[in-house]
Amino acid sequence: MRVAIVGAGAIGGVLGARLAAAGHEVSLVARGEHLSALRRGGLTLVDHAGGTSAVHRLAASDQPADLGTQDLVVIALKAHAIEPMLPRLRPLLHDHTVVVPAINGLPWWYFHREGGPHEGRALRSLDPAGTMFADLDCRHVVGCVVHFAAEVRAPGEVHHTGGRRLILGEPDRTRNARLERICAALDGAGFEAQRSADIRLDVWVKLLGNLSFNPVAALTGYLMNEICADEAVLHVIRAVMREGMAVCERYGYPMPMTPDQRIDLARQLGAAKISMLQDLERGRPLELAAVVESVVELAELAGIPVPVTKMVLALAQARARKPLAG
């Protein structure tokens, strides 16, 4: 397949490098020093689990239109960067292009073909201008939940630090040929691609971890294993998860696990540096809108109190406004 990775950072870089190694024609969309390094020396993937390192020479640009039409477009941007990018993706699309948003948080397409009372709703926290459904026809979208960890440790250098699982599913809950084709390509690239019967449930399972662990990591500076080893901090994690579980149940997705079972899933990432902490350390905007504000907005629409989540959000927003010393 012809594959474009839009946002060739940590997650996107790992996806691009592994798909290229599996024989697909991969192009990267990046910017700044990272783009310069990709053009100069290629994309270096360091695999901590396999103990390997490889350099991949791939086409890279900051202009999606340079890359031509693609069979698969992976959006691996931070959530707040997606809205201005969507109109720029049109030159990448042909009638059968599949777009896979490999992103954190509640996705902007969540209510596309959802089939409930909120069908087609655009959430203010995700799409303030209400333009994203028009900017990208959601018929191209296959939902994705990422369960692996990665970091960009230097321009052009991506480290795969844990996990290989990706969950993919159609927004209308069907199983079809294009879903199988994308999953097969990911399996062939060394990932564990799980075909989901209802991708929104998988979004919520991941989101409950992001909702709780991500802002707490930014506030404490803890790695995942350090959060999981601190019982006082886990008390906050459990409280936020319980509130999030009340929200997702109201929207038709009772959680099939307890907070402690969800924490056990997070433990599998070991000493991973959570993405929101990575962004804070690099002086980048935090994905609070997609990861936390979206859940608060859904809670308010449903009349569900989420006081602990709101307190954690307020503290994380304040932390984001205060630059780190040095």
In the block, which residue shows the tokens 């996705």? 107
- Provide the angle, in degrees to the nearest 10, between the axes of the packed helices 231-250 and 294-302: 50
The SS3 call for residue 9 is: coil
Residue 70 near residue 76, CB atoms below 8 Å? no
Q: Which residue has the tokens 């409930």?
A: 116
> Is residue 206 among the annotated active site residues?
yes
Q: Which residue type does 167 have?
A: I
Residue of 8, 3, 21 whose CA lies nearest to 70: 3
Q: Which two tokens stand for residue 100?
A: 């896979």
Q: How many C-alpha atoms does 248 have within 13 Å on its Cβ side?
A: 23
Contacts (Cβ under 8 Å, ≥6 apart) of 260: 238
The Cα 89–Cα 100 span in angstroms is: 12
- Helix orientation angle between 231-250 and 307-321, rounded to the nearest 10 degrees: 120
Catalytic choice (78, 206, 273, 322): 206
Taking CA 298 as the corner, what is the angle to CA 79 and CA 139, rounded to the nearest 5 degrees?
55
- Point out the residues that are catalytic: 206
